[in-house]
Structure 1
Amino acid sequence: MNILSLVVQRTRAAINRRRFERELAAILRTPPVVLGKDAFTALSMVHHRDVESYLLAIKSFCRFMHPRRIVMVADPSITDADRSRIASHVIGIEIVRAEDYQEQGVPQGGTWERLMAISEYSQSDYVIQIDADTVTLSEMAEVKKAIAEATSFALATEDGQQLVSCVEAARWAKARADSGEHIQILAEANLDRLPESESARYVRGCSGFSGFAQGSFSRAQLKAFSQTMGSILGARWAAWGTEQFSSNFMVSNSPRACVLPHPKYCHPGREKPGTVFLHFIGYVRFTTGRYARAARETCAALGAT
């Protein structure tokens, strides 16, 4: 990419970001969310910089889903003012500290505290993990079915993804891994070294939107898995990306796990007619004005004043 193209790309992204922030401001003028009666918990980890986008994510989600419990794992950057603002917009929300979900022998940061929290909340309820950079556009029949059937689910990253054996997943990753590759690929390339590799399954999903059936995994299982992978990858196991890999593994090895259909659930670069859920993952977040349009349309639907 030449310098001119890079400048154009960055300028476009900056403009789209400002458009999004302008449209997002209306989320503070929409009615608060109240707890519903659907038999599941909606859980998110939120950073100070993401408070308003979290409100967009959870309010758009609760247009179509009605969790009986909403939990926010507060990053240490969350202030008292942030807590008050969120609590006034999500009535009945439970705000817990990320620090309370740190465990010796398990990486810290990189949303690991979120996965540790899920391991506990999923002991008593179905849990849906929803990122602050997501927008729900329409009814999610597959998600409702997963809850009703106590089936964990993963968010696909491309068409045709399915659960495969760890041996097959490792074979795919080894063909793409090298010494400088992203930690997720390196971890996947070593799935065949797990003691249960012949029977365990894996899908290369995105942890930004995941469903965990009640009792699907425990804190002890997560800690043991982390320690095993740490013994294989050494210091690199502490890198950003290991939580998503671990989340994928926990979902994949839950009974009757499934993968949400793509691109019905996808990131904006793959959106098609009929898409019901968008994850505005970082590298495509502001390449277009779609995030701003989604914010505007959602706030209008919610009755922004």
Structure 2
Amino acid sequence: MIARLFRAVEARRHRWTARRVLAAPPIAARDDGVLLFSMIGTRVVLPYLVAVKSLHAALGRGRVVLLDDGSLTAADRALLDRQCGGAEIVPIAAVARGACPQGGCWERLLALLGRTGDHYVVQLDSDTVTLGPVPEVAAAIAANRSFTLLGDAGVERHGLLDLPGFLAAYHPQGGVDPRGPAHVQRAIESNWDRLPDWRDARYVRGCAGFAGFARGGFGAEAAERFSRAAEAVVGAASWARWGSEQVASNFLIANSADPVLLPYARYSNYWAEPVAPDARFLHFVGTHRYARGEYRRRTAAAIAALSCSPER
């Protein structure tokens, strides 16, 4: 009960802090072949503005495309348009899912993949804050290489693996029952050998909260093919659960041409642990989002930087 009370109080304090982003200069959108893509709803408009303004200021490029989860109000859309330099807002009902599950961020993945024919697309969650220059991201975009935030520090030790290597590293005792009660990510990751042509594919345990998709790379049809194959392994009910979209994102990026795995010391998820001195990007995952007031303090610092240094 005490933990829930602290979370509620800290969430309220964070919302009040995030409101200050409205006074920071709006994004100067650039039609330069880069899209900053996010799916948002009315509850996260303010933190999203912190996320996208801080990233755009660090990159100095791109324009904003948003997938409306169905909850954005007319006032939200007008605010986002002003603050994001003319944001393009797409209704979630306009996304064709094909053979993929409904919900669980699948519409987000399919919508952004539909833009990769002509654009480099950066997927950005609303619960992120860019803390400073992001040269690895800028270089990946310039070289048209996909990138991903890693799931945790341990992933960096293994790096990008072919599927036989992944099974040997993460599941040396064998896979779990693919249609049992295990989390969908563990169910499919421990049974890669049930996929067609599995020996020729690669995988990385990334985080879909921050990922880059190269121009001219995989389109939505590739996600559909993977979804059908994975669903055949774990079953429709399991594959429809939260987490399957992240697996698909990880798989597609791992099998793109020369993907970039962002160094975890600079780009990381926040697990209520001390932040690395040279951190450039933090993803405040739900479990620990409001722990220790870190999200609020980093949000305040990002807004202060925006206010002092107008976008280039």
Q: Same fold (TM over 0.5)?
A: yes
Whether contact under 8 Å (1:102, 1:108) holds in the other structure is no
Flag structure 1 segments of 5+ consecutive residues without an equivalent.
1-6
Structure 2 distance, partners of 1:17, 1:282, is 11
Match of 2:99 in 1: 105
Deviation at 1:134, TM superposition (A): 0.4
What count of residue pairs does the alignment treat as equivalent? 298
1:10 aligns with 2:7: no
Whether contact under 8 Å (1:44, 1:129) holds in the other structure is yes
Structure 2 distance, partners of 1:104, 1:145, is 33
Match of 1:27 in 2: 21
Counterpart secondary structure, 2:38: strand
Structure 2 distance, partners of 1:106, 1:39, is 27
Whether contact under 8 Å (1:42, 1:128) holds in the other structure is yes
Match of 1:255 in 2: 257
Deviation at 1:25, TM superposition (A): 1.4
Deviation at 1:182, TM superposition (A): 1.3
Q: Which moved more, 1:51-60 or 1:25-34?
A: 25-34
Structure 1 distance, partners of 2:244, 2:15, is 30
Matches within 5 A, 1:1-305: 7-36=1-30, 39-159=33-153, 160=156, 161-171=158-168, 172-173=170-171, 175=173, 177=176, 179-234=180-235, 235-269=237-271, 270=273, 271-303=275-307
Whether contact under 8 Å (1:44, 1:130) holds in the other structure is yes
Whether contact under 8 Å (2:117, 2:216) holds in the other structure is yes
Whether contact under 8 Å (1:38, 1:66) holds in the other structure is no
Counterpart secondary structure, 1:76: coil
Give the TM-score taking structure 2 as reference length.
0.90
Q: Which moved more, 1:240-249 or 1:35-44?
A: 35-44
Structure 1 distance, partners of 2:150, 2:19, is 30
Whether contact under 8 Å (1:174, 1:189) holds in the other structure is no
Structure 1 distance, partners of 2:197, 2:142, is 29
Amino acid paired to 2:286: G
Whether contact under 8 Å (1:38, 1:65) holds in the other structure is no
Flag structure 2 segments of 5+ consecutive residues without an equivalent.
none
Q: Write out per-residue CA displacement over residues 124-167 of structure 1, whole angstroms, 9 at most, x where no aligned residue.
A: 11111010110000000100111111111111122224110112
Q: Write out per-residue CA displacement over residues 178-231 of structure 1, whole angstroms, 9 at most, x where no aligned residue.
A: 633211111211222221211110001100000111122012111111111112
Structure 1 distance, partners of 2:151, 2:232, is 28
- Runs of 4+ in structure 1 off by over 4 angstroms are 173-178
Q: Which moved more, 1:189-198 or 1:145-154?
A: 189-198
